[in-house]
Amino acid sequence: MRAVGLARRCHFVYPEVRMYPAVRSILIVYAALFPIVNPLAMAPVFAALTNDYAVRVRRTIATRVAVNGIMLLMTSLFFGSYVLDFFGISIGAVELGGGLLVVVAGWRILNQQSDVSERHLDAPPSSETALSQAFYPLTMPLTVGPGSIAVALTLGSNLHAETHLKLMATALFSTVGIVLIGVTIFLCYGFSDALERLLGPTGTNIVIRLSGFILVCIGIQIMFNGANQFYAEMVHNANVLANPR
């Protein structure tokens, strides 16, 4: 009887011991990507860019942005480093190009019409036009930008260094973490109209302008980081040429 009782206790404790590393791995991926993707801060921007569309269309766009974001992050995680190596592209180039896209997107938000009534004077765009914006600019670069891709590339480089069995487990946990990021994007974007109603026209306009300005600043900072990356590579190459082994 004592052996049976011990086996039963082990049966309930052992899954908890096995699950703790899994939960930790999932949370590491989620915590690394969430502050950079930041769907809470991007929700007012999404609401502004999809303001002319019906709620059903906005929810569809939010779903597509979430799915596109998951695919982009997973591609960057598992294959991003190989793609960059194949084309000879450095992280600095990704940051410079992506930062420029973020600056352009933020500038467009800063210069769009502020009066909601003026925006509704024109005929509402078609659903096809709305859905065509789901990838650019709503997914890339506003939601999953160069910062998110750089983090996913870093996580992926650590992933490739693991053993075969551990690689499969870590890949599964990383996938779950990225899917949770996608669910968060859908919830924040799909119900951004509720946030817009809560803020009101004036509050929404203020948040949109601030978000656009912050996006411009983020894009400039990303470009600055890319320039620093290029400078560090130039200094390293110069030192290698000056002190050959």
pLDDT, tens digit, 9 for 90 and up, residues 10-29 = 444 444 445 567 788 888 88
pLDDT band at 61 (very low <50, low <70, confident <90, very high): very high
Q: How many CB atoms lie within 10 A of CB 10?
A: 11
Q: Of 201, 225, 45, which Cα lies nearest the Cα of 149?
A: 225
pLDDT, tens digit, 9 for 90 and up, residues 89-118 = 877 787 788 778 778 877 877 786 554 444
Q: How many CB atoms lie within 10 A of CB 79?
A: 13
Average pLDDT of the segment spanning 178-184 = 96
Measured N-to-C along each axis, helices 55-87 and 192-242 cross at an angle, to the nearest 10 degrees, of 10
Residue 242 CA to residue 65 CA, distance in Å, equals: 48
Q: Of 122, 120, 144, 8, which Cα lies nearest the Cα of 64?
A: 144
- The answer to which of 123-132, 172-181, 235-244 has the lowest mean pLDDT is 123-132
Q: Of 197, 194, 96, which Cα lies nearest the Cα of 147?
A: 96
pLDDT at residue number 7: 40
Half-sphere exposure of 29 (CA within 13 A, CB side): 29
Residue 31 CA to residue 89 CA, distance in Å, equals: 27
The pTM for the full model equals: 0.71
DSSP state of 51: T
Q: Of 185, 183, 175, which Cα lies nearest the Cα of 152?
A: 175
Structure tokens at 33: 């990507």
> Is the CB of residue 51 less than 8 Å from the CB of residue 192?
no
pLDDT at residue number 60: 93
> Is the CB of residue 211 less than 8 Å from the CB of residue 41?
yes
